[in-house]
Chain A
Amino acid sequence: MIKGRYFPAGSARVVAASLSGTRDRLVLHLENEPDAADAKLTSVSDPIAGVPRKLTFADGGVFEAPLGADVDGLLKTGGTFFARLTRLEANLGLVAAVAVVTIGLVFAAYRFGIPLLASGAAAITPAPVVAAMDRGTLETVDRAVFSPSQLNAGRRRKLQAMFEELSQLAGDDGPALRLELRQGGMIGPNALALPGGTIIVTDELVGLAASDDEIAGVMAHEIGHVRERHSLQQIYRVLGIGFMVGLVGGDASQLVDDVVTQASALQALVYSREFETHADLYSVGLMVKAGRDPLAFVGLLDRIVRDAGGSGETGWLATHPGTKDRREAVRKRAEALDGAGETAQE
């Protein structure tokens, strides 16, 4: 028998009461009322630490068992999922074990799970959606930043031909590649790749280049972004990180949200750096295939950075790896490819 209190249906009035019997036939006995009544149980609140169990009956009345009362014993519901969960949550040793496993899971999800899911999601994103994203983005940046290219027709044709040559070598595994030339306006010498294969190179970048190989290297780098689906992966990774953070601090206040948003922006930068490095390496491979100088574009990057007043060091907050590190990595890759090529020829 459990002594507790009873609320009549829809009322805040409380009456001392006791509950006895078995799961199949519960008997509710209200104080000040001589007759005990059979009570038809409709639901029982799940157990959770510190909260009294409440049993709701068919007539809408609610019996509240005091804390610690053995409701599960009376109803024979000790084996339910939440009954087990509540015992687990109260067992410090098990909680510690769950904590260790969870920390491992969070780390693994962050380090491997999210990048893996992101690249999977990027691969299955339907081509029409990606193409539409390109159109939308190009429309927006054309209105906001760019103006039509001022290069003369001959120069434009030569650049298109060079791009064509690189695209052919890059193969057609993925969206069709397309070069758009624009005047950069406020973003100056720059090149960007949209997920659907549109690659934009600004007049200012072409103007700053000392040789065609330099421009070709940048184009090859952007082609690398497209072929390895970096933009899409980036979108999905940021989503994934946001989701994870939501899981850990889901009940957090606005203040935490704000800080966390900053933190995920920072995280996006770290990811971009990884992508930049990959695109550099892709560029080297493609340039070697095209018989062009794979190191040339690093010189162009140097000049862009100098123009922008940046430093050659890898800044903690920088999206792009510092040009010093970059040149080193590119040179190593080129040497490795070169060596491989020579051995293959022998």
Chain B
Amino acid sequence: MTSSETAVASREVPAYLEFSFTGRALEYFGIWIVNLFLSIITLGIYTAWAKVRRLRYFYGNTWLDGHNFEYHARPVSILIGRIIVVSLLIAYNLLVSVSPFFGLLIFLYLLAFPWLLNKSMSFNARMTSYRNVRLNFRGSYWGALLAFVIMPVVALLTAGLLFPLASKLSNDYIGRHLGYGSARFETRAPLKALYGNLGSTILFVIMVTLVCAGIGFVIGSSMVSVGNMIEKGGDELLDVLTFGPITGALIGGYIALAVAYLFYAAGVRNVAYNHTVLDGKHRLTSSVGRLRYVWILVSNLFATILTLGLLRPWAAVRTWRYLASSTGLLAAGSLDHFVDEAAPEGSVGAAEFFDIEGIDFGL
């Protein structure tokens, strides 16, 4: 067989395939604004179609080795999922405002969370295909409970010291249960690299704080004239030396903490992808620049807000393109052999719940 020969031959020299995104900001602007227009005049009903169209644009323009991805969800099922989720959320909020006792439902939610998560991941995986073969996700209740409910709480209780362990568990969990057709993914994120990433994140926060303190000092000292200082004596000097830098440090520290999780998440993505193998031989790669990623998201935020949302399409395309181009696959041989297989379909309701609540596990 020639195919097994090529597989053997290429195992020694895996081919590096890079993901790429061919969408353009102006092109997506057209899709986005038409989606928005139709969503408004249909009082939100069209949002289900808009979501499918948006994801079909982003997936469909993402390429690997001459093939693109596809998003397959049917808008009508998305709409039904949304109606169910919104009704449940309204009912829950009404119940809570009628009696705080119903706040206890939150415990029920925590218990159901792993199940919801698995159903949602199954749906989203199942709706994604590459080369006519779909992704799939087969979760386990206890694994998800440990990785997504228990560990985050434990990590918070240890003041973040166990965040890398929580990241390892959640990424390994997703990787281990994800499949491409009949082939399985496997993620083994090394703890050492994840702790290194936490260290860099802390360093990042400290550096930003110090730099802002320095800026505060410069601004503070430029606000007093030398004459003023002589007149008022040492007090003024003391003010300059303390007030500027402290204000700067406080503002800088606050900003740094607000964006630290972006920095951290980008690092985790790199570690997790670089230790994810498909079918025991093809390895994913990720080389997201953490500072660059923070910069992209923060500048996107300002661009979006300052233009009251009009630059949102540009920002979305920019982020997606950067992430795609930072991702690759070290393919050990041809990608011809994958075959689809029956897999859990998941639940659109669960998927829409996470979508509406803004809970997202990908980067």
Contact = CB atoms under 8 A, between A and B. Distances in A.
A255 B29 contact: no
A50 B22 contact: yes
A249 B309 contact: yes
A50 B97 contact: no
Nearest to A243: B44
A85 B31 CA distance: 9
Contacts of B272: none
Nearest to A261: B358
B27 A49 contact: yes
Interface in A45-102: 45-46, 48-52, 54, 62, 85, 88-92, 95, 98-99, 101-102
A8 to B, nearest CB: 8
Contacts of A317: none
A147 interface: no
Given A10-B339, A132-B98, A90 B27 contact: yes
B47 A250 contact: yes
Contact of A52 (B31, B68, B97, B262): B68
Contacts of A91: 30
Contact of B133 (A11, A101, A140): A11
A83 B39 CA distance: 18
A50 B96 CA distance: 47
A13 B340 CA distance: 11
B94 to A, nearest CB: 7
Interface stretch (B140-148, B149-157, B211-219, B330-338): B330-338
A136 B100 contact: yes
Given A14-B336, A51-B61, A248-B309, A133 B98 contact: yes
B237 to A, nearest CB: 31
Given A12-B131, A14-B131, A51-B61, A256 B301 contact: yes
B258 A258 contact: yes
Interface in B244-296: 258-259, 261-262
Contact of B339 (A12, A99, A140, A252): A12
Contacts of A308: none
B47 A247 contact: yes
A137 interface: yes
A136 B98 CA distance: 5
B6 interface: no
A135 interface: yes
Contacts of B360: 253-254
Interface string A116-148: 000000000000010011011101100000000
B27 A50 contact: yes
B56 A12 contact: no
Interface residues of B, number: 63
B44 A255 contact: no
B40 A109 contact: yes
Given A11-B340, A12-B131, A12-B335, A48 B47 contact: no
Contact of A259 (B22, B54, B305): B305
A102 B313 CA distance: 15
Interface residues of A, number: 51
A243 B86 CA distance: 11
A248 B27 contact: no
B340 A48 contact: no
A256 B319 CA distance: 13
Interface string A9-48: 0111110000000000000000000000000000001101
Contacts of A251: 54, 312, 316
A256 B309 CA distance: 11
A51 B57 contact: yes
Interface in B29-82: 29-31, 33-34, 36-37, 39-41, 44, 47, 50-51, 53-54, 56-57, 60-61, 67-68, 70
Contacts of A252: 304, 312, 316
B33 A98 contact: yes
Contact of A95 (B33, B131, B358): B33
A106 interface: yes
A209 to B, nearest CB: 31
A293 interface: no
B342 to A, nearest CB: 10
B240 to A, nearest CB: 28
Nearest to B182: A10
A105 interface: yes
B228 interface: no
B202 interface: no
Contacts of A14: 67, 131, 336
B181 interface: yes
B99 A136 contact: yes
Nearest to A95: B30
A248 B36 contact: yes
Contacts of A92: 26, 30
A7 interface: yes
A106 B40 contact: yes
B242 interface: no
Contacts of B300: 256
B23 A249 contact: no
Interface of B: 22-24, 26-27, 29-31, 33-34, 36-37, 39-41, 44, 47, 50-51, 53-54, 56-57, 60-61, 67-68, 70, 94, 96-100, 130-133, 181, 258-259, 261-262, 297-298, 300-301, 304-305, 309-310, 312, 316, 319, 335-341, 358, 360
14 contacts: A11-B132, A12-B181, A12-B335, A45-B56, A50-B22, A62-B132, A92-B26, A99-B310, A102-B36, A250-B51, A252-B304, A255-B259, A255-B297, A257-B358
Given A88-B30, A248-B36, 7 more contacts: A50-B24, A50-B60, A95-B30, A102-B40, A136-B98, A139-B99, A140-B100
| Minimum-distance CB pairs A-B, first 7 | A51-B60, A7-B132, A10-B340, A89-B30, A12-B131, A132-B98, A12-B338
